[in-house]
Structure 1
Protein backbone atom coordinates (compact mmCIF):
# COMPACT_ATOMS: atom_id res chain seq x y z
CA UNK A 1 0.00 0.00 0.00
CA UNK A 2 1.45 3.37 -1.02
CA UNK A 3 0.90 6.83 0.45
CA UNK A 4 -1.85 7.67 -2.04
CA UNK A 5 -4.40 5.04 -0.92
CA UNK A 6 -6.23 4.02 2.26
CA UNK A 7 -4.54 6.87 4.13
CA UNK A 8 -5.66 9.50 6.64
CA UNK A 9 -3.44 12.46 7.49
CA UNK A 10 -4.39 14.55 10.52
CA UNK A 11 -2.70 17.95 10.91
CA UNK A 12 -3.00 20.50 13.67
CA UNK A 13 -3.09 24.10 12.46
CA UNK A 14 0.06 26.25 12.57
CA UNK A 15 0.75 28.65 15.41
CA UNK A 16 -2.11 31.13 15.91
CA UNK A 17 -2.06 34.58 17.47
CA UNK A 18 -3.67 33.09 20.58
CA UNK A 19 -1.00 30.35 20.75
CA UNK A 20 1.68 33.04 20.58
CA UNK A 21 0.06 34.98 23.44
CA UNK A 22 -0.68 31.85 25.52
CA UNK A 23 -4.42 32.46 25.39
CA UNK A 24 -7.19 29.88 25.51
CA UNK A 25 -8.74 29.87 22.03
CA UNK A 26 -11.59 27.41 21.81
CA UNK A 27 -14.16 28.88 19.43
CA UNK A 28 -12.31 32.18 19.15
CA UNK A 29 -11.04 32.80 15.62
CA UNK A 30 -7.47 34.15 15.69
CA UNK A 31 -5.33 34.27 12.57
CA UNK A 32 -2.06 32.43 12.01
CA UNK A 33 1.17 34.17 13.00
CA UNK A 34 4.08 34.44 10.57
CA UNK A 35 5.54 31.40 12.32
CA UNK A 36 2.23 29.57 11.86
CA UNK A 37 2.28 30.32 8.13
CA UNK A 38 5.82 28.95 7.89
CA UNK A 39 4.83 25.83 9.83
CA UNK A 40 1.89 25.18 7.52
CA UNK A 41 4.03 25.59 4.43
CA UNK A 42 6.66 23.28 5.93
CA UNK A 43 3.99 20.65 6.50
CA UNK A 44 2.89 20.95 2.89
CA UNK A 45 6.44 20.63 1.61
CA UNK A 46 7.01 17.57 3.78
CA UNK A 47 3.87 15.91 2.47
CA UNK A 48 4.95 16.68 -1.09
CA UNK A 49 8.37 15.15 -0.43
CA UNK A 50 6.65 12.04 0.93
CA UNK A 51 4.60 11.74 -2.25
CA UNK A 52 1.13 12.58 -0.96
CA UNK A 53 -1.75 13.46 -3.28
CA UNK A 54 -5.11 13.89 -1.61
CA UNK A 55 -8.56 12.93 -2.83
CA UNK A 56 -10.49 14.76 -0.10
CA UNK A 57 -9.75 17.51 2.43
CA UNK A 58 -11.66 18.40 5.61
CA UNK A 59 -11.26 21.24 8.07
CA UNK A 60 -13.13 23.20 10.73
CA UNK A 61 -15.04 26.46 10.44
CA UNK A 62 -12.20 28.41 12.08
CA UNK A 63 -9.71 30.41 10.06
CA UNK A 64 -6.51 29.12 11.69
CA UNK A 65 -7.32 25.61 10.45
CA UNK A 66 -8.68 26.75 7.09
CA UNK A 67 -5.62 28.92 6.37
CA UNK A 68 -3.27 26.09 7.35
CA UNK A 69 -5.08 23.74 4.97
CA UNK A 70 -4.98 26.30 2.14
CA UNK A 71 -1.22 26.73 2.56
CA UNK A 72 -0.64 22.97 2.61
CA UNK A 73 -2.67 22.52 -0.58
CA UNK A 74 -0.76 25.38 -2.18
CA UNK A 75 2.54 23.63 -1.48
CA UNK A 76 1.08 20.42 -2.93
CA UNK A 77 -0.19 22.23 -6.04
CA UNK A 78 -3.69 21.00 -5.13
CA UNK A 79 -5.47 24.32 -4.62
CA UNK A 80 -8.38 23.04 -6.74
CA UNK A 81 -9.12 20.19 -4.31
CA UNK A 82 -12.67 20.56 -2.89
CA UNK A 83 -12.59 21.36 0.83
CA UNK A 84 -15.28 20.23 3.28
CA UNK A 85 -15.48 22.65 6.25
CA UNK A 86 -17.62 21.50 9.16
CA UNK A 87 -18.20 22.79 12.70
CA UNK A 88 -17.87 19.23 14.00
CA UNK A 89 -14.11 19.65 13.56
CA UNK A 90 -13.99 22.94 15.50
CA UNK A 91 -11.81 23.26 18.56
CA UNK A 92 -13.47 22.46 21.88
CA UNK A 93 -15.53 25.23 23.43
CA UNK A 94 -13.46 26.65 26.30
CA UNK A 95 -16.40 28.65 27.62
CA UNK A 96 -15.40 31.26 30.19
CA UNK A 97 -11.71 30.44 29.71
CA UNK A 98 -11.68 31.60 26.07
CA UNK A 99 -9.44 34.62 25.65
CA UNK A 100 -7.81 34.26 29.08
CA UNK A 101 -4.06 34.08 29.39
CA UNK A 102 -3.09 30.64 30.70
CA UNK A 103 -0.81 32.05 33.41
CA UNK A 104 -3.60 34.34 34.62
CA UNK A 105 -6.05 31.44 34.57
CA UNK A 106 -3.71 29.34 36.75
CA UNK A 107 -3.41 32.20 39.22
CA UNK A 108 -7.19 32.63 39.36
CA UNK A 109 -8.34 29.00 39.40
CA UNK A 110 -5.26 27.06 40.50
CA UNK A 111 -2.71 25.02 38.56
CA UNK A 112 -4.40 21.64 39.10
CA UNK A 113 -7.83 22.88 38.09
CA UNK A 114 -6.59 24.54 34.91
CA UNK A 115 -4.58 21.46 33.93
CA UNK A 116 -7.67 19.32 34.46
CA UNK A 117 -9.79 21.61 32.27
CA UNK A 118 -7.12 21.67 29.56
CA UNK A 119 -5.95 18.08 29.49
CA UNK A 120 -8.37 15.65 31.10
CA UNK A 121 -11.16 13.80 29.33
CA UNK A 122 -14.11 14.70 31.54
CA UNK A 123 -13.47 18.08 33.21
CA UNK A 124 -15.76 20.80 31.85
CA UNK A 125 -14.55 24.43 31.81
CA UNK A 126 -17.26 26.85 32.99
CA UNK A 127 -19.72 27.19 30.12
CA UNK A 128 -17.62 25.03 27.80
CA UNK A 129 -16.99 21.46 26.64
CA UNK A 130 -14.95 18.62 28.07
CA UNK A 131 -12.73 16.63 25.73
CA UNK A 132 -15.25 13.78 25.97
CA UNK A 133 -18.03 16.14 24.88
CA UNK A 134 -15.89 17.26 21.94
CA UNK A 135 -15.41 13.63 20.94
CA UNK A 136 -19.14 12.99 21.21
CA UNK A 137 -19.98 15.64 18.60
CA UNK A 138 -16.91 14.97 16.39
CA UNK A 139 -16.82 11.16 16.21
CA UNK A 140 -20.19 10.67 14.46
CA UNK A 141 -19.10 13.11 11.73
CA UNK A 142 -15.76 11.35 11.41
CA UNK A 143 -17.42 7.93 11.09
CA UNK A 144 -20.01 9.23 8.61
CA UNK A 145 -17.95 11.52 6.37
CA UNK A 146 -14.25 10.79 6.74
CA UNK A 147 -13.51 7.18 7.71
CA UNK A 148 -15.53 5.60 4.86
CA UNK A 149 -13.50 7.50 2.29
CA UNK A 150 -10.24 6.23 3.79
CA UNK A 151 -11.51 2.66 3.98
CA UNK A 152 -12.63 2.83 0.36
CA UNK A 153 -9.04 3.52 -0.71
CA UNK A 154 -8.90 7.32 -0.77
CA UNK A 155 -6.19 9.58 0.64
CA UNK A 156 -7.81 12.05 3.05
CA UNK A 157 -6.38 15.18 4.71
CA UNK A 158 -7.93 16.64 7.88
CA UNK A 159 -6.66 19.93 9.33
CA UNK A 160 -8.14 20.75 12.72
CA UNK A 161 -7.19 21.71 16.28
CA UNK A 162 -5.15 20.26 19.11
CA UNK A 163 -8.17 19.40 21.22
CA UNK A 164 -10.45 18.15 18.46
CA UNK A 165 -7.62 15.92 17.22
CA UNK A 166 -6.88 14.71 20.76
CA UNK A 167 -10.54 13.75 21.08
CA UNK A 168 -10.18 11.67 17.89
CA UNK A 169 -7.03 10.01 19.20
CA UNK A 170 -8.92 8.70 22.22
CA UNK A 171 -10.79 6.48 19.75
CA UNK A 172 -8.28 5.95 16.96
CA UNK A 173 -5.37 5.12 19.28
CA UNK A 174 -7.53 3.66 22.07
CA UNK A 175 -6.14 6.13 24.60
CA UNK A 176 -7.63 5.61 28.05
CA UNK A 177 -9.27 8.69 29.62
CA UNK A 178 -6.67 8.65 32.39
CA UNK A 179 -3.85 8.79 29.82
CA UNK A 180 -5.15 11.50 27.49
CA UNK A 181 -3.73 14.21 29.79
CA UNK A 182 -0.24 13.24 28.62
CA UNK A 183 -1.06 13.44 24.90
CA UNK A 184 0.00 16.64 23.19
CA UNK A 185 -0.08 17.56 19.48
CA UNK A 186 2.26 20.35 18.43
CA UNK A 187 1.36 23.08 15.96
CA UNK A 188 1.51 21.73 12.39
CA UNK A 189 2.24 18.22 13.70
CA UNK A 190 1.04 15.50 11.33
CA UNK A 191 -0.37 12.11 12.33
CA UNK A 192 -0.65 9.51 9.58
CA UNK A 193 -3.01 6.52 9.66
CA UNK A 194 -3.50 3.63 7.26
CA UNK A 195 -6.54 1.44 6.86
CA UNK A 196 -5.76 -2.13 7.95
CA UNK A 197 -6.35 -4.47 5.02
CA UNK A 198 -7.92 -7.17 7.20
CA UNK A 199 -10.56 -5.34 9.21
CA UNK A 200 -10.21 -1.75 7.90
CA UNK A 201 -9.20 -0.44 11.32
CA UNK A 202 -7.27 2.82 11.08
CA UNK A 203 -3.77 2.25 12.45
CA UNK A 204 -1.18 4.93 13.27
CA UNK A 205 1.72 4.76 10.81
CA UNK A 206 3.73 7.88 11.69
CA UNK A 207 3.86 11.18 13.55
CA UNK A 208 5.77 14.06 11.97
CA UNK A 209 6.54 17.33 13.75
CA UNK A 210 6.69 20.43 11.55
CA UNK A 211 6.63 23.15 14.22
CA UNK A 212 9.64 25.44 14.43
Structure 2
Protein backbone atom coordinates (compact mmCIF):
# COMPACT_ATOMS: atom_id res chain seq x y z
CA UNK A 1 0.00 0.00 0.00
CA UNK A 2 1.32 3.44 -0.95
CA UNK A 3 1.23 5.44 2.28
CA UNK A 4 1.31 9.15 1.53
CA UNK A 5 1.58 12.09 3.88
CA UNK A 6 -2.10 13.02 3.65
CA UNK A 7 -3.88 10.09 5.19
CA UNK A 8 -7.10 9.61 7.16
CA UNK A 9 -7.68 6.23 8.83
CA UNK A 10 -11.04 5.44 10.42
CA UNK A 11 -11.71 2.47 12.67
CA UNK A 12 -14.66 1.24 14.69
CA UNK A 13 -13.80 0.13 18.24
CA UNK A 14 -13.32 -3.54 19.10
CA UNK A 15 -16.18 -5.70 20.33
CA UNK A 16 -17.80 -4.38 23.53
CA UNK A 17 -19.82 -6.22 26.15
CA UNK A 18 -22.98 -4.74 24.61
CA UNK A 19 -21.96 -5.96 21.14
CA UNK A 20 -21.40 -9.42 22.57
CA UNK A 21 -24.91 -9.46 24.06
CA UNK A 22 -26.49 -7.83 20.99
CA UNK A 23 -27.63 -4.78 22.96
CA UNK A 24 -28.21 -1.24 21.74
CA UNK A 25 -25.37 0.77 23.27
CA UNK A 26 -25.75 4.38 22.24
CA UNK A 27 -24.15 6.54 24.94
CA UNK A 28 -23.85 3.63 27.37
CA UNK A 29 -20.27 2.95 28.36
CA UNK A 30 -19.55 -0.81 28.20
CA UNK A 31 -16.01 -2.14 28.34
CA UNK A 32 -14.33 -4.15 25.61
CA UNK A 33 -14.62 -7.93 25.70
CA UNK A 34 -11.52 -10.13 25.50
CA UNK A 35 -12.26 -10.44 21.79
CA UNK A 36 -12.48 -6.64 21.52
CA UNK A 37 -9.09 -6.26 23.18
CA UNK A 38 -7.62 -8.82 20.77
CA UNK A 39 -9.19 -6.99 17.82
CA UNK A 40 -7.61 -3.71 18.89
CA UNK A 41 -4.17 -5.27 19.28
CA UNK A 42 -4.50 -7.00 15.90
CA UNK A 43 -5.53 -3.75 14.18
CA UNK A 44 -2.53 -1.91 15.60
CA UNK A 45 -0.17 -4.70 14.54
CA UNK A 46 -1.65 -4.76 11.05
CA UNK A 47 -1.27 -1.02 10.56
CA UNK A 48 2.33 -1.17 11.79
CA UNK A 49 3.02 -4.10 9.46
CA UNK A 50 1.74 -1.98 6.56
CA UNK A 51 4.08 0.85 7.53
CA UNK A 52 1.60 3.23 9.14
CA UNK A 53 2.48 5.85 11.71
CA UNK A 54 0.37 8.82 12.78
CA UNK A 55 0.77 12.44 13.81
CA UNK A 56 -2.38 12.62 15.94
CA UNK A 57 -5.59 10.76 16.73
CA UNK A 58 -9.22 11.54 17.50
CA UNK A 59 -11.73 9.49 19.44
CA UNK A 60 -14.98 9.78 21.37
CA UNK A 61 -15.58 10.23 25.10
CA UNK A 62 -16.70 6.59 25.44
CA UNK A 63 -14.27 4.07 26.89
CA UNK A 64 -14.73 1.32 24.30
CA UNK A 65 -13.31 3.65 21.65
CA UNK A 66 -10.65 5.15 23.92
CA UNK A 67 -9.44 1.72 25.09
CA UNK A 68 -9.31 0.45 21.50
CA UNK A 69 -7.23 3.44 20.46
CA UNK A 70 -4.83 3.07 23.40
CA UNK A 71 -4.21 -0.60 22.58
CA UNK A 72 -3.64 0.21 18.91
CA UNK A 73 -1.14 2.93 19.76
CA UNK A 74 0.78 0.48 21.95
CA UNK A 75 1.12 -1.87 18.99
CA UNK A 76 2.12 0.99 16.70
CA UNK A 77 4.84 2.01 19.11
CA UNK A 78 3.18 5.42 19.56
CA UNK A 79 1.68 5.32 23.08
CA UNK A 80 2.24 9.06 23.62
CA UNK A 81 0.62 10.19 20.36
CA UNK A 82 -1.53 13.32 20.87
CA UNK A 83 -5.17 12.23 21.24
CA UNK A 84 -8.22 14.49 21.06
CA UNK A 85 -11.39 13.01 22.63
CA UNK A 86 -14.72 14.71 21.96
CA UNK A 87 -18.40 13.89 22.49
CA UNK A 88 -19.01 14.89 18.86
CA UNK A 89 -17.61 11.48 17.88
CA UNK A 90 -19.76 9.52 20.36
CA UNK A 91 -22.07 6.80 19.10
CA UNK A 92 -25.57 7.97 18.25
CA UNK A 93 -27.91 8.20 21.22
CA UNK A 94 -30.37 5.31 20.99
CA UNK A 95 -32.69 6.78 23.62
CA UNK A 96 -35.26 4.28 24.88
CA UNK A 97 -33.55 1.49 22.93
CA UNK A 98 -30.29 1.82 24.89
CA UNK A 99 -29.52 -1.33 26.86
CA UNK A 100 -32.24 -3.37 25.15
CA UNK A 101 -31.53 -6.60 23.34
CA UNK A 102 -32.22 -6.13 19.63
CA UNK A 103 -34.44 -9.20 19.47
CA UNK A 104 -36.44 -7.90 22.43
CA UNK A 105 -36.75 -4.49 20.78
CA UNK A 106 -38.17 -6.11 17.65
CA UNK A 107 -40.80 -7.89 19.74
CA UNK A 108 -41.82 -4.55 21.29
CA UNK A 109 -41.87 -2.32 18.21
CA UNK A 110 -41.72 -4.70 15.25
CA UNK A 111 -38.81 -5.71 13.04
CA UNK A 112 -39.51 -3.09 10.35
CA UNK A 113 -39.60 -0.18 12.78
CA UNK A 114 -36.42 -1.28 14.58
CA UNK A 115 -34.66 -1.68 11.23
CA UNK A 116 -35.63 1.88 10.30
CA UNK A 117 -34.33 3.22 13.60
CA UNK A 118 -31.06 1.34 13.15
CA UNK A 119 -30.27 1.92 9.50
CA UNK A 120 -32.26 4.80 7.98
CA UNK A 121 -31.06 8.39 7.85
CA UNK A 122 -34.05 10.22 9.32
CA UNK A 123 -35.89 7.84 11.68
CA UNK A 124 -35.56 8.89 15.33
CA UNK A 125 -35.80 6.24 18.10
CA UNK A 126 -37.81 7.39 21.15
CA UNK A 127 -35.71 9.90 23.07
CA UNK A 128 -32.69 9.33 20.84
CA UNK A 129 -30.95 10.52 17.68
CA UNK A 130 -31.41 9.72 14.01
CA UNK A 131 -28.34 9.24 11.84
CA UNK A 132 -29.04 12.72 10.46
CA UNK A 133 -28.86 14.17 13.96
CA UNK A 134 -25.62 12.28 14.58
CA UNK A 135 -24.18 13.64 11.34
CA UNK A 136 -25.13 17.16 12.46
CA UNK A 137 -22.49 16.96 15.19
CA UNK A 138 -19.94 14.60 13.56
CA UNK A 139 -19.52 16.34 10.20
CA UNK A 140 -19.00 19.90 11.54
CA UNK A 141 -16.45 18.52 14.02
CA UNK A 142 -14.68 16.72 11.17
CA UNK A 143 -14.57 19.84 9.00
CA UNK A 144 -13.46 22.04 11.91
CA UNK A 145 -10.95 19.81 13.71
CA UNK A 146 -9.95 16.76 11.65
CA UNK A 147 -9.98 17.77 7.99
CA UNK A 148 -7.58 20.74 8.41
CA UNK A 149 -5.01 18.41 10.01
CA UNK A 150 -5.26 15.88 7.16
CA UNK A 151 -5.10 18.63 4.55
CA UNK A 152 -1.99 20.02 6.24
CA UNK A 153 -0.19 16.76 5.52
CA UNK A 154 -0.70 15.02 8.87
CA UNK A 155 -1.59 11.36 9.15
CA UNK A 156 -4.76 11.17 11.23
CA UNK A 157 -6.29 8.17 13.01
CA UNK A 158 -9.95 8.28 14.11
CA UNK A 159 -11.34 5.53 16.37
CA UNK A 160 -15.07 5.89 16.95
CA UNK A 161 -18.39 4.03 16.62
CA UNK A 162 -20.56 2.34 14.04
CA UNK A 163 -22.97 5.21 13.49
CA UNK A 164 -20.69 8.17 14.09
CA UNK A 165 -18.43 6.63 11.45
CA UNK A 166 -21.36 5.84 9.13
CA UNK A 167 -22.32 9.51 9.19
CA UNK A 168 -18.74 10.52 8.43
CA UNK A 169 -18.41 7.96 5.62
CA UNK A 170 -21.66 9.28 4.14
CA UNK A 171 -20.07 12.73 4.05
CA UNK A 172 -16.68 11.59 2.72
CA UNK A 173 -18.08 9.24 0.08
CA UNK A 174 -20.91 11.54 -1.01
CA UNK A 175 -23.61 8.97 -0.27
CA UNK A 176 -27.30 9.82 -0.24
CA UNK A 177 -29.79 8.75 2.47
CA UNK A 178 -30.88 5.72 0.47
CA UNK A 179 -27.30 4.49 -0.01
CA UNK A 180 -26.31 4.80 3.65
CA UNK A 181 -28.98 2.24 4.63
CA UNK A 182 -26.78 -0.51 3.18
CA UNK A 183 -23.57 0.64 4.88
CA UNK A 184 -22.46 -1.33 7.93
CA UNK A 185 -19.12 -0.91 9.71
CA UNK A 186 -18.17 -3.94 11.79
CA UNK A 187 -16.18 -3.84 15.02
CA UNK A 188 -12.45 -3.28 14.32
CA UNK A 189 -13.08 -2.61 10.62
CA UNK A 190 -10.58 -0.12 9.18
CA UNK A 191 -11.22 2.40 6.40
CA UNK A 192 -8.19 4.11 4.86
CA UNK A 193 -8.61 7.36 2.92
CA UNK A 194 -5.73 8.82 0.91
CA UNK A 195 -6.06 12.53 0.18
CA UNK A 196 -4.67 14.48 -2.76
CA UNK A 197 -2.81 17.80 -2.47
CA UNK A 198 -6.12 19.67 -2.38
CA UNK A 199 -7.35 17.58 0.52
CA UNK A 200 -9.91 15.67 -1.56
CA UNK A 201 -10.37 11.90 -1.38
CA UNK A 202 -8.02 10.26 -3.87
CA UNK A 203 -8.63 6.63 -2.88
CA UNK A 204 -10.28 4.47 -0.25
CA UNK A 205 -9.34 1.03 1.07
CA UNK A 206 -11.56 -1.03 3.35
CA UNK A 207 -9.98 -3.61 5.67
CA UNK A 208 -12.65 -5.84 7.25
CA UNK A 209 -11.93 -7.41 10.62
CA UNK A 210 -11.43 -10.82 8.97
CA UNK A 211 -8.40 -9.45 7.09
CA UNK A 212 -6.80 -7.96 10.20
CA UNK A 213 -6.55 -10.82 12.67
Residue 97 (structure 1) aligned with residue 83 (structure 2): no
Q: Deviation of residue 170 (structure 1)?
A: 1.1
| 1:31-77 CA distance string (max 9 Å, x none) | 00000001111100110011011001000000000000000000001
Q: Deviation of residue 176 (structure 1)?
A: 1.1
Structure 2 gap segments, 5+ residues each: none
How big is the alpha-carbon RMSD for the aligned residues of Structure 1 and Structure 2? Answer: 1.3
Q: Deviation of residue 202 (structure 1)?
A: 2.5
Which whole-Å CA distance do the structure 2 matches of 1:147 and 1:84 have between them?
14
- TM-score by length of structure 2 reads 0.96
Q: Deviation of residue 29 (structure 1)?
A: 0.2
Name segments (4+ residues, structure 1) moved above 6 Å: none
In structure 2, the partner of 1:186 is 186
Which whole-Å CA distance do the structure 2 matches of 1:86 and 1:204 have between them?
27
| 1:102-160 CA distance string (max 9 Å, x none) | 00000110000000000000000000000010001111110011011111111000000
Residue 48 (structure 1) aligned with residue 48 (structure 2): yes
Asked whether the equivalents of residues 170 and 176 of structure 1 are also in contact (C-alpha less than 8 Å), the reply is: yes
In structure 2, the partner of 1:21 is 21
Asked whether the equivalents of residues 14 and 40 of structure 2 are also in contact (C-alpha less than 8 Å), the reply is: yes
Query: How many pairs were matched up?
Result: 211
In structure 2, the partner of 1:59 is 59
Which whole-Å CA distance do the structure 2 matches of 1:204 and 1:157 have between them?
16
Which whole-Å CA distance do the structure 2 matches of 1:179 and 1:106 have between them?
23
In structure 1, the partner of 2:209 is 210
Which whole-Å CA distance do the structure 2 matches of 1:205 and 1:178 have between them?
21
Structure 1 gap segments, 5+ residues each: none
Q: Deviation of residue 163 (structure 1)?
A: 0.4
Which whole-Å CA distance do the structure 2 matches of 1:200 and 1:31 have between them?
35
Which whole-Å CA distance do the structure 2 matches of 1:124 and 1:82 have between them?
35
- TM-score by length of structure 1 reads 0.96
